[in-house]
A and B are shown apart, each in its own frame.
Chain A
């Protein structure tokens, strides 16, 4: 019989006890956490997730887009909320990074949101949509234009803006039919959005009989375009299309002009942002951007712009109206469905038109907007304006 416990053995035992107590305390924390989360689910608010890029190069477009949704939700809350409950928003930043978007999506689902408004970048929206679909969470993106998002056959995925296979042809036609160009060069940022849009422009331009003399991609963190510009110039292109965001598009346009390349610079909604104009200059000639229709004639637009400026004191951004409309459509559908059950809300969204700042919005069976129109814009007097000769 051992009377004396070996000191080494004792310390091992001691360690074991400490480890055990650590595990126990961790388990207690987890259980309490889970219990609290469970309590929250039964609380008196309806949770909506707001997810988009809010930092880095694309921050301006993403953050203003979510500001728009927040204004709509504040208005609903002031009127008493939806289904008699106040709406609580959880706003997360996906940093325009697909991995981060996936994490954000899981976080929102874990937080018990009934719907998500977001994301902005197509390469974030698409992977996140898989998470939302698996969790039966409604998703409506105000600004992702890559067709794949609604081609996945997800019943809860909606998009309130147009698609790149509508946007690309408008830009391609403008280059060929209105600007009367036969040769263009295309550069894209190798993302789902940039490359997708660039490919659509290429298809359209070639189907109209034009020639694409250069089709290249460049990493999103590359800022030296010197060699690309030499190739553009050497390829004999009469026009140029940039498939990417304003953070690279602005400096690229400036650099082209500095190098004496004054051919038309055409891009899509990713460059439709105040910082782009700030970079290239308010009088930059020969810059054309495809974007949705001008909504400023709609009487509701003025009220929205005023409340946006009162709250945030900055330019409203390209997609804040889309964010505002997306939130309104979603909340109206929830109110009419009388429940947050995603199947019922989705059915309401697909069954009727909604009145928004963007006009009448009606969704097709895929979740896309019917008859969304892209038009061409240009920079004039420091502002973006619709071109009268837009196709």
Chain B
């Protein structure tokens, strides 16, 4: 195989990895955009999505047999419901009462929830890695289209397509709907928003539910791509997605996707050029460089911080 097609493969790998980061980074960036806080438990919500999907598919295949598309589709729906439930519960239990507290209080609470959820799944669901049922993912991971001499699997296409579609939908939702106006109003000033009749609590809860649902989709995609799910899967991916959100300008929807793509490509190119042991070095060196040159991230706006 020539090095040219290796490079193409690396780029495709980088983009699909970036698309996964993007789906998670959107959740970080939305919560930050509305509340001005970093939801560190977002990675765990992603991990819970993985497990919910696999266990739901197990139940379905016992209930009515192995229909690949039906069970997988319903599995994703169940994963989204579960993750959204956990996301909502996090907001309701760990963050709502701390909304007016010092900025460190919800941050600490988020880190606590993150650790709690990790070890909750560890102790109650599985202490070891669980294999994703390849019966459901084999077709998606071994078939695909041929592009520039290399194969792009249907799963990689699905991941990329989903992240772009969802980014577009979110952008539309926020900028062109009544709900979006309410979201933006809540982000600008919660008190004023409530005075004009916007149900601030519901809007914030909605943000968490939406972001968590997206994380669940990312979780299922990653589980299919890597063939494996584990209780601490959300930690590393969550950290990377968070980095991507910062890189693109936290609070900015297209910025999260851009940052995630850059991050995914950087990692893949590093693996190709220097070896994967340098992944973290190049990733965070680039983050520092971007922040030095553009402290608000690539697409972040120069506005006075409201906090």
* Chain A residues in the interface with B (C-beta under 8 A): 55-57, 59-60, 187, 190, 214-219, 221-228, 230-231, 233-234, 236, 247, 250-251, 254-255, 258, 260, 275, 278-279
Contact = CB atoms under 8 A, between A and B. Distances in A.
B276 A247 contact: no
B272 A227 contact: yes
B13 A190 contact: no
15 contacts: A56-B127, A57-B128, A187-B276, A190-B277, A217-B276, A219-B236, A221-B235, A224-B225, A226-B17, A227-B14, A227-B272, A234-B9, A236-B1, A250-B228, A251-B226
B1 A234 contact: yes
Interface residues of B, number: 39
Nearest to B225: A224
Interface of B: 1, 3, 5-6, 9-10, 13-14, 16-17, 122, 127-129, 131, 134, 138, 141-142, 151, 222, 225-228, 230, 232-233, 235-236, 267-268, 271-272, 275-277, 279-280
A247 B233 CA distance: 13
A254 B271 contact: no
Q: Which of A59, A224, A250, A275 has the most CB of B within 10 A?
A: A224
A216 B277 CA distance: 6
B228 A251 contact: yes
Contacts of A278: 131
Nearest to A221: B236
A231 B271 contact: yes
B10 A231 contact: yes
B141 A258 contact: yes
B13 A227 contact: yes
B272 A275 contact: no
B236 A254 contact: no
A275 B128 contact: yes
Contacts of A275: 128-129
Contacts of B233: 223
Contacts of B272: 227, 230-231, 234
Contacts of A219: 236, 279-280
Contacts of B10: 227, 230-231
A279 B131 contact: yes
A226 B16 contact: yes
A227 B6 contact: no
Given A230-B268, A230-B272, 17 more contacts: A56-B232, A216-B275, A217-B277, A219-B279, A221-B235, A228-B271, A231-B6, A233-B1, A234-B3, A234-B6, A247-B230, A250-B228, A251-B226, A255-B227, A258-B141, A275-B128, A279-B228
